[in-house]
Chain A
């Protein structure tokens, strides 16, 4: 009997028929667009036609086949297992299989101890991810493959999940990076994700087999794997059908004719077993009334057909779209533009301007301003008069429609921005963190996946009978939830409505974190392209229980705000400096990518050349490549700390002395002075790893066991590799449950990761076995006990050391630590005084000691300094407050400093411009507690709380918007005082 294997993956459907001699006699591959029953039964009919009347032993496999197999009474074979069966038969010499699918990634280690790995909850770097990235560049995956072949350089793109990568890629595209380079970088990101996420400490080597759609179709991706793995993998014949063939080959199949099975599929009845939400509209009448109400909101502002008097131009170059508009003195709009940016706003604005000049040759432009991610490039390219930060632009625009607006929510393609207005100034700002998009482009992607336009999709949801309740989670999870709901019988309309509702829930509960609508405000204005979708607007009103204002020009409000800003700053009668018709004709735009060699950061720069000597450089972390040099006003405590720490750092072993290596990460960022002095006093030569770099991370990533740990922890693997290369006599990195006790809280723990990461290194880094690794448990809070313990530990490893010598060294070490901390605090206080004397704003950039690492903070302190503020740290302020009560259990030393710093700021008089910005590493569970508490302390005193989430990504665009908003909000607030 022939055997039929059916493999239903997350996006595709595969069938393979094997004959009695295991020969593949039929195979078929197609995308199923979530309509699995329909497409599968079609495929089965096809098989029945070709091989009529035959019973086959049928088995089913694949992530989407699990439930279905049961329903149609066909044995299910787990897909990784099936794959292995096929590989063993067809390519027995294989050591390792890498398979990428639509949403799955798998590695099978066949030789040696057999292991199978598949991506868990945090999925990324798969076929769907590649498709998503391609659509971001307005190309398809095969075009991307062709482009990647011509790349010149690679950018760093976060590979953890699609949303992260998106926020890396978008700014690159906006800054004009070449698509060739971005394409190749995306492939590289996929490779890194696969290795970091799945290899988990096991090296991929030997004979490697590539399977699955992406690796079959994309030669650039195979090449990227080959390069990183240093091998030449094989993509075999029928690489798409291994799972299907394996399922058939297991021999568990049940005899049935394809025709019969097809009939079973057709007669499947799905019951609506999923949880559903309230309907959006009960009737057409209700919908009409709703539409009418929203039309009313924009009375008084209209769209004109020709310029009247002086006109003002505003451009909002957002992450996925470009918005532009002209307005007259009364705020009436002319020629609003809303267009996808296709990764580069420059040609779109060029076209827009030239159309305007053609249509209205006599137009008098009195001012032009830009905003958004592409603010700088647009301003530079077209000689705009000014630029404003997005949040201010949106507020300026919203005020036109609702002068007493106190809450604005803008959902765009990539971003959710919300802010509260208090006393006429922007107060709390919420932006979506890189991990939880779920905004406009998310709806668009789903619409696309189900083959609808976004407009059709929006209409579909309006009258859905049982909208799917999808909760409020990030995109990656949402994909599987949608699939689950479909399986449970949800119609496309129910899903469309459910997704709209989930976008709203995301904004409300994940981004704003509000527990009741009263916390938002009374006069809410919603804007951004996503709110043109009536389903989303309705869902928002339903969820908050109040009516809101949606301006008719919701998507272009940023541009409108910029135009109003240009108007406010224009001198009547004087023309704007914006490029004129002639200038536009001569306009050229060339982009080159270079690596800055100004310092060790090695930033990837994109140089935009606009002809006639005008250039715009993007991607830089400092002003060096701009030729401005460093300015004297820089006061950055992060840099000062690094400078202090550098004096203890040394990577070259000294001959003739015993060498001890210390990895420069996590708590070592504070304790290095202590350990350095201790070992130095005992006659050791201390070597350290350097400040982290991306390369260092990559070097160690193959031994990371848990890819969802925080980035600072994962960096430790690279630091250890660095030290091991230098062959020290021992590496010292003790486990420390407890930290220094500064008396600020009820206990003085380290977080579990900081406390025990040495254990993870010991258990997962084979290379450490050949070295003395001193990772004993100890604690510094009790000097007497520490002296006892360290004597015990050191004499175990170095029996020649004497108790008295150790005692003296310990004393010196404590003194060194104290003087280091003292120096930091003194300098912090000095900076505060200087800021006050020079009337500079101060940002208390709060995090943990290891956030000082430039690879961890991505140069955020530099960005702040460039914005003209002084940077100090939480630990330089924490002793300025007496211990006080917080609403959480204050039991971690580093985190107690956060509360103390917040308390210090809360106690400052309102005229002092000192703001707190909290750095939060992605995956830091403890910060789920601290962020809310720090916010509470600050907001209780009427101060602004700002949080920046950081990971492998360096999306400085979003960070910069946030910081600029904060500084402008703070200064507006000061003016209001």
Chain B
């Protein structure tokens, strides 16, 4: 073995540090991991010192999400909050053709240059590139993690559609906190993650958010798509959601589950185009079926409340995407990105921000490369790519977004 193993002993007393990739979801993921005996914590560090740490240990042309997330994990080790001798790091690896599949190695390289090569790094992936004696993702664990993500998606969706309209400031935030506590509590008692338990939670969440008094006011509707990290992380996108809120917008960000469904769906395309394993294709279809069922749970829970716009279903995203780009494009966010853009436009979120790291390779294709075609299909679409980078100034980003909003308002006024 040419890497540091994560042993059974470590499972007992090591803290596993994860990057803060999906701010709303990570607390639930933390709790789900705890359920299986792993002490997972999320490195919720932000600010310039985190970026500087990333820049110091990574090639400066490396993608911005790498600089942010690896920066967070390394910063956590040096922050004094943890004993590095009792820590492991964890990262997600898709194994796809974009640079992101290298985060694991880059973390190890960074640790080496810090003289901390003894810190084990765990790769979390579908492909299981490496095996560790004390860490194993079992099927039930995977299912539970995905259910946690779905609950997170629901929470995100309800929050986004309530916050801009709340009459009593703070209602939404308090309710989000309440639900995170409620869910982590349930998880700790092994509840809430079974099929019926989840359904019950979804329904209760919808009801709770519905009960928040809201003003009847038309807001500029903005969709957010893009690279998976900067799309969700306010650290990565300079507080994009806060900016949109302050400008009187309501925004929708498609859920995390879609990305997983996209990965599952690609197994069938690989089979068609390259004759890849039929067994994996079957596994992919099975996973899609299950995810589809859970996805329906969200729709069902939202149905009684017309004020909530349900998310665009995955099959719909897939269908819409095929009008734009070939489903064989599977690196980075691949065909999912234009599919989600089209889905948002169809749901009335005609103003779409495509958040991407500066110089992101797949985004040359699926981001900026597809906008022209999307405008052709949807002449009213108001799509703006916004680049994020350690050096990009917030003023420029804000200015671009304000231009998009100026156009949006003019159209709304007509």
Q: Which residues of A contact B (CB under 8 A)?
A: 63-64, 66-67, 76-81, 113-116, 118, 120-122, 200-201, 275, 469, 471-474, 477, 480-481, 483-484, 509-510, 513, 515-516, 705-706, 708-709, 713, 735, 737-738, 746-747, 749-753, 755-757, 759-760, 763-764, 775, 777-779, 782, 784-785, 788-789, 885, 887-889, 891-892, 923, 925-929, 931-932
Contacts and interface: CB of A to CB of B under 8 A. Distances in A.
B373 A81 contact: no
Contact of B97 (A755, A760, A763): A755
A114 B382 CA distance: 10
A873 to B, nearest CB: 23
A928 B273 contact: no
Given A480-B395, A481-B391, A747-B97, 14 more contacts: A80-B403, A483-B393, A509-B56, A705-B364, A705-B372, A737-B328, A737-B330, A755-B329, A756-B365, A763-B369, A764-B372, A779-B274, A925-B360, A928-B60
B63 A925 contact: yes
A888 B106 contact: yes
Interface string B349-386: 00000000011111111111111110100010000011
Contacts of B366: 756
A760 B370 CA distance: 7
A713 B324 CA distance: 21
B81 interface: no
A244 B369 CA distance: 34
Nearest to A80: B403
Nearest to A478: B391
Given A785-B275, A925-B361, A121 B59 contact: no
A949 to B, nearest CB: 10
Contacts of A923: 359
22 contacts: A78-B402, A79-B399, A114-B407, A118-B400, A121-B389, A509-B55, A513-B59, A706-B367, A737-B330, A749-B96, A763-B324, A778-B274, A782-B275, A788-B275, A888-B102, A888-B106, A892-B97, A925-B61, A926-B99, A926-B361, A929-B99, A929-B102
A928 B391 contact: no
B228 interface: no
B204 interface: no
Interface in B329-352: 329-332
Nearest to A516: B113
A757 B99 contact: no
B372 A201 contact: yes
Contacts, number: 215
B392 interface: yes
Contacts of A750: 97
A931 B386 CA distance: 28
Contacts of B129: 746
Contact of B393 (A114, A480, A777, A782): A480
Contacts of B280: none
A114 B332 CA distance: 30
Nearest to A892: B97
Nearest to A112: B379
A515 B59 contact: no
Most chain B CB within 10 A, of A469, A516, A929, A931, is at: A929
B398 A116 contact: no
Contacts of B385: 120
A759 B402 contact: no
Contacts of A713: 364
A80 B403 CA distance: 7
A473 B379 CA distance: 38
A917 to B, nearest CB: 18
A121 B60 contact: no
A759 B371 CA distance: 12
B318 interface: no
B178 interface: no
Contacts of A67: 395
A200 B274 contact: no
Contact of B392 (A477, A763, A887, A925): A477
Interface of B: 2, 48, 51-52, 55-57, 59-63, 95-99, 101-102, 104-106, 108-109, 113-114, 129, 269, 273-275, 324-326, 328-332, 358-373, 375, 379, 385-387, 389-396, 398-400, 402-403, 405-407, 410
B400 A66 contact: no
Nearest to A120: B387
Contacts of B379: 113
Nearest to B110: A515
Nearest to B51: A471
A706 B372 contact: no
B266 to A, nearest CB: 10
B372 to A, nearest CB: 5
Contacts of B390: 471, 473
B97 A705 contact: no
A737 B362 CA distance: 12
Contact of A778 (B98, B273, B392, B395): B273
Contacts of A885: 2
A887 B109 contact: yes
A928 B410 CA distance: 42
The 4 tightest CB contacts between A and B, nearest first, are A473-B391, A785-B275, A777-B328, A749-B97
A756 B331 contact: yes
A116 B63 CA distance: 27
Contact of A705 (B52, B331, B332, B369): B369
A760 B396 contact: no
A66 B391 CA distance: 19
A830 to B, nearest CB: 34
Contacts of B358: 121-122, 708
A738 B328 CA distance: 11
B48 A752 contact: no
B401 to A, nearest CB: 9
A204 to B, nearest CB: 15
B226 to A, nearest CB: 14
A763 B101 contact: no
A927 B62 CA distance: 9
Contacts of A887: 105, 108-109
Contacts of B109: 887-888, 932
Nearest to A757: B365
Contacts of A764: 369, 372-373
A747 B273 CA distance: 17
Contact of B331 (A63, A755, A763): A755
Given A121-B387, A887-B105, A887-B109, A275 B48 contact: yes
Nearest to B402: A78
A81 to B, nearest CB: 4
Nearest to B381: A113
Contacts of A775: 326
Contacts of A927: 61
B359 A708 contact: yes
Contact of B373 (A116, A477, A483, A763): A763
Contact of B329 (A81, A481, A735, A926): A735
B200 to A, nearest CB: 42
A343 B399 CA distance: 38
Contacts of B331: 737, 749, 752, 755-756
B103 to A, nearest CB: 9
A249 B379 CA distance: 27
Contacts of B360: 925
B245 to A, nearest CB: 15
B368 A705 contact: yes
Contacts of B375: 113, 115
Contact of A737 (B97, B371, B387, B389): B97
B326 A777 contact: yes
A474 B113 CA distance: 25
A759 B113 contact: no
A66 B402 contact: yes
B97 A515 contact: no
A927 B59 CA distance: 10
B365 A752 contact: yes
B21 to A, nearest CB: 19
A471 B52 contact: yes
B403 A471 contact: no
